[in-house]
Amino acid sequence: MGEEVTSVFEQAITALSRKEVLFDSRAGEDVVWQVDIDKMAYIFSTLVDYLKIDDTYNIFVLNPKYRNKRLHYGYRRGLSESEINFLKENKTLQALVLQSEHAKGNALEIDNIIPRPLHLNRPASNFVWTTTEEVNTVEWSKKYSDALTHAENEGKDDVGVLYDKIVKMLHDKKDDLNYLLGEALKSGDFTGLHSECLTDTWIGGNRWAFIDLSAGPFSWGPAVGGEGVRTELSLPNVNKTIGAVAELTEVEAEEKLQDAIRERFSSFDGEHQAIDILLAEIDIYELFAFKHCKGRRTKLSLCEGYNIGDSDESHRKKALDALKRMERWNLFSDPPEEYHSYTVAHDTFLAQLGATLWGSMKHIVAPSMADGAYHYYEKISFQIYFITQEKITNMKKLPVNLKAFTDGLSSLAVTSQKVMFSQQMLALSDDPALTMAFSVARRAAAVPLLLINGTYRLTTRPYLDSSILQRQLQKLSDHGSLKEMTGKQPSAFSLKGDLVEAIIDLRRPIKAAIAATAEHLAGLLPLHLVYSQAHETAIEDWSWSVGCNPVSITSQGWHLSQFQSDAIARSYIITALEESILVVNAAIHLLVLEHTTKQGFGLFKSQERAMVDKYNSVVTLWRRIATLSSGLRYGEVVKLLHLLEDSSKGFAEHVNATISLLHPVHCTRQRKVELELDLTTVPAFLIVFAILWFLFRPRRPKPKIN
């Protein structure tokens, strides 16, 4: 993105960060800082909108320079554990927050600026390497730099910054943090308010995500370890690869150059021409310049004649050509080529970064989906049943925020889908069978917890076997009892077995319920699961289990990002296309099996035009869907799925009707019945006839002699 954009993000990390431990008095280099991810996400979103790249998937890789000795930092949504404890104990701060009516305006909101679309002057083709020049982002960088400078100069103390953050959480957008914080402030019970993980990666609400190579490092995943756990070495570390390599001094560079000259000319003798010696000198200088001059922070005097204006590809080509010529000249001596450690570190870093970006493709951009066919429906009806011990008439007394729950379920719907809800309450006291099923469904699991000292401690976690409750609800439905109690038929599905440990707190089931519903509707899996073609099974990688979404473990949020919404839409599209192709191919197969007859040719020709038109309409829809999907316009694609289904069925029905018209021709209009004589049966008939004649032939009467 260029130096100006990088400078904005470096400034944002300083301006939008708070100490993780409130009133931390340690030295500056030892303090851990938390960057407000909500404000950081706003900056990323405005950059994406400014460049008009919101119709593409964007992965930003940050490697900012440290400012103000902030060596240890990460990104967090909400409050840290220290801030929550301070708010819990400070009644004065709680009163001030409750008295506030609205939050301050967004200090990062800048005046309307004219967008600079990145694609206007670019080739209109796929997979084109593009970079942004300074002229594309200079206005955006200037305005955001001024806004961040103003935010830095406000000069508030730690408590003032914390107060502004809490008020913004309470009065800003309605989400899970808003709900949990408001509930805690009103009741005085902060047990349900927890801090989220510090991360160095994040998945935004739109089509962007970022990796910060300077943040962290952090680790998360199952407490007992296992496959794919996020460790401190999961992301490439610049300081431990490229940054750890010391650059050559002037004296060391001079010695290396002289060693290369001596080694190269040791194989020369008097038979070599002057041109060979000159080419050898050029090759040595080309290789030396490529290894020790390009990309240095401090320039060597030996590199003054090196043309740094040429492109990297040009220097690389020259160096490779020189190396090939040197290898040809030293065919028999074969001297080992020692590469500079900086080059090796650079290649290692790029290999690790490439593997990380490939992981983002598998887990974020094109995640694996659960096996199965997921149909698109224009209307989705959710029937929510609340089972309580005693009969409750008012749903507001339930320990579940029904509005937040329905909003989370509504986010699973794609464009043009309509969502309907119906809530019913079932009391265990009204049905003894349901009470028994609920009692039998109670389970407990012993989960090992890894402590800091390396020892394990078993923790007992209760849960419910939803399959037992589902069977009982189904029995009540079959007998009509549930319909008498609620007036509606139940629609229940069981949670997967591997989700049992994920549902820890049944008092707050919103996140887990939305994740299970997303898998049931469209096959959306948790972010750490991906299909491995090499292993032919699912594997785990917890590096990208981040973001404020129901399939992430590092956040308690349950709002889907655009990445997951696109994955749900693609699941519907793939199912519709596969079923359409199967229907069309089955109809064509029936036509292939049909024999052509003279009597049915005219009848078939009369139906041919309509049949071809229906087939062409299906093919046109296939192409239309493929074109729109390539532009990530999934909202327009899902509107065509019902039309595709109707067109495919229309073609199949027309084929079946045509075949049914052809079959009566063979039975009613054909006057002559042709019989085929099998000549292989003639000898058998002759043998049978000869045997019968021999047995039943007429015999002459024998004369009687007296």
- The answer to whether the CB of 95 falls within 8 A of the CB of 213 is no
Q: CA-CA distance, 371 to 377, in Å (whole number)?
A: 19
Residue 420's pLDDT is what?
92
Pairing relation of β-strands 379-388 and 418-427?
parallel
Residue 266's pLDDT is what?
61
E strands in 391-499: 418-427, 442-450, 456-464
The answer, yes or no, to whether residue 592 has pLDDT greater than 80, is yes
**In the predicted model, what is the mean pLDDT of residues 84-89?**
90
Residue 566's pLDDT is what?
94
Q: In sequence order, which residues have a C-beta less than 8 Å from that of residue 679 and are 6 or more positions away?
A: none
Q: Which amino acid is residue 382, in one-letter code?
A: F
**In the predicted model, what is the mean pLDDT of residues 163-186?**
85
- The answer to whether the CB of 149 falls within 8 A of the CB of 10 is no
Residue 577's pLDDT is what?
96
Residue 301's pLDDT is what?
58
Q: What stretch of H or E contains 532?
A: strand 529-532
Please tell me the least confidently modeled range out of 56-60, 371-375, 532-536.
532-536
The answer, yes or no, to whether residue 517 has pLDDT greater than 50, is yes
At 498, the pLDDT band (50, 70, 90 cuts) reads very low
Q: In sequence order, which residues have a C-beta less than 8 Å from that of residue 201 and are 6 or more positions away?
A: 209, 210, 211, 212, 235, 543, 544, 546
Angle at 123 between CA 117 and CA 125, to 5 degrees: 105
Handedness of CA 123, 127, 129, 133 (dihedral sign): positive
Residue 626's pLDDT is what?
95
Residue 122, both tokens: 């670019």
**In the predicted model, what is the mean pLDDT of residues 200-225?**
86
Residue 278's pLDDT is what?
55
At 30, the pLDDT band (50, 70, 90 cuts) reads confident
Q: What percent of the chain has pLDDT over 90?
A: 22
Taking the mean position of all CA atoms in its chain, how far away is CA 59? 12
The answer, yes or no, to whether residue 332 has pLDDT greater than 50, is no
**In the predicted model, what is the mean pLDDT of residues 534-553?**
88
Of 206 and 227, more confident: 206
Output b/e per residue, 299-322; b: 16+ Cβ within 10 A.
ebebeeebeeeeeeeebeebbeeb
Q: CA-CA distance, 232 to 236, in Å (whole number)?
A: 9
Residue 533's pLDDT is what?
83
> What is the full DSSP assignment across 538-560?
EEE-GGG--SSSTT-SS----PP
- Residue-wise pLDDT tens digits, 117-144: 665 555 444 444 455 556 667 888 888 8
Among the ranges 232-236, 604-608, 620-624, 695-699, which has the highest mean pLDDT value? Answer: 620-624
Q: Mean pLDDT for the chain?
A: 78
At 252, the pLDDT band (50, 70, 90 cuts) reads low
Q: Which amino acid is residue 9, in one-letter code?
A: F
For 52, 627, 647, the CA distances from 616, given in Å and listed in that order, are: 35, 16, 10
3-class DSSP state for residue 529? strand
Q: In sequence order, which residues have a C-beta less than 8 Å from that of residue 237 and are 6 or more positions away?
A: 213, 217
Residue 338's pLDDT is what?
41
Residue 563's pLDDT is what?
94
Of 65 and 14, more confident: 14
At 335, the pLDDT band (50, 70, 90 cuts) reads very low
The answer, yes or no, to whether residue 487 has pLDDT greater than 50, is no
Residue 497's pLDDT is what?
32
Please tell me the least confidently modeled range out of 103-107, 471-475, 580-584.
103-107
- The answer to whether the CB of 539 falls within 8 A of the CB of 530 is yes
**In the predicted model, what is the mean pLDDT of residues 536-554?**
89
At 265, the pLDDT band (50, 70, 90 cuts) reads low
Q: What percent of the chain has pLDDT over 70?
A: 71
Of 678 and 422, more confident: 422
> What is the full DSSP assignment across 141-200?
HHHHHHHHHHHHTT---HHHHHHHHHHHHHHSS-SHHHHHHHHHHHH---TT--PPPPBS
Of 490 and 679, more confident: 679
